[in-house]
Amino acid sequence: MNSEHIVAGLKAAGEPTRLRLLVVLAHTELTVSELTRVLGQSQPRISRHLKLLCDADLLERFQEGAWVFYRLTRSRDGVPNVAEAVLSFVDADDPAMTRDLERLESVKGTRREEAANYFANVAGAWEKLRSLHTSDRQVEETMLQLVGGSKVANYLDMGTGTGRMLEVFGPQAEKGIGVDLSHEMLAIARTRIEAAGLDHCQVRQGDLFALDLANGSGATNGHMDNADLITIHLVLHYLTDPAAAVAEAVRALKPTGKLLIADFAPHDLEELREEHSHRRLGFSDAEVAGWCKAAGLDHIKVSHLPPPDENGRKLTVTLWLAQASAQPGH
Which range of residues forms the domain containing residue 107? Answer: 3-122
Residue 102 lies in a domain: yes
Cα 193 to Cα 40, 155, 171, 182: the distances in Å are 45, 14, 11, 16
- Domain end marker among 122, 148, 174: 122
pLDDT of residue 101: 92
pLDDT of residue 65: 66
pLDDT of residue 219: 38
Residue 264 lies in a domain: yes
Overall pTM surpassing 0.85 (yes/no): no
Report the distance separating Cα 309 and Cα 315, nearest Å: 9
Residue 329 lies in a domain: no
157 and 298 fall within a common domain: yes
108 and 199 fall within a common domain: no
210 and 318 fall within a common domain: yes
215 and 310 fall within a common domain: yes
pLDDT of residue 330: 39
CATH value at residue 83: 1.10.10.10
pLDDT of residue 112: 66
Residue 138 lies in a domain: yes
- Domain end marker among 95, 122, 149: 122
50 and 164 fall within a common domain: no
- Answer left, alpha or beta for residue 321, where phi above 0 means left and psi between -120 and 50 means alpha: beta
Residue 72 lies in a domain: yes
96 and 156 fall within a common domain: no
117 and 166 fall within a common domain: no
Distance of CA 206 to the CA centre of its chain: 14
Of 126, 107, 89, 139, the residue nearest 32 (C-alpha): 107
What is the block-wise mean pLDDT of the chain (330 residues), using blocks of 10 residues? 79 90 88 93 94 91 77 69 85 87 87 64 62 87 94 95 94 93 80 84 89 57 78 94 95 95 94 86 95 93 85 84 69
57 and 135 fall within a common domain: no
pLDDT of residue 149: 87
Task: Give first-to-last CA distance, the chain, whole Å.
Answer: 36
Residue 159 lies in a domain: yes
Domain count, the chain: 2
Of 197, 150, 157, the residue nearest 177 (C-alpha): 157
- Domain end marker among 72, 107, 122: 122
pLDDT of residue 282: 95
61 and 156 fall within a common domain: no
9 and 109 fall within a common domain: yes
79 and 207 fall within a common domain: no
78 and 146 fall within a common domain: no
* Strand order through the sheet with 299-305: 201-205, 173-180, 152-158, 227-233, 253-264, 317-323, 299-305
Residue 330 lies in a domain: no
Report the distance separating Cα 295 and Cα 307, nearest Å: 30
Map residue 164 onto helix, strand or coil.
Answer: helix
Q: Strand (E) positions, the chain?
A: 59-64, 67-72, 152-158, 173-180, 201-205, 227-233, 253-264, 299-305, 317-323
CATH value at residue 231: 3.40.50.150
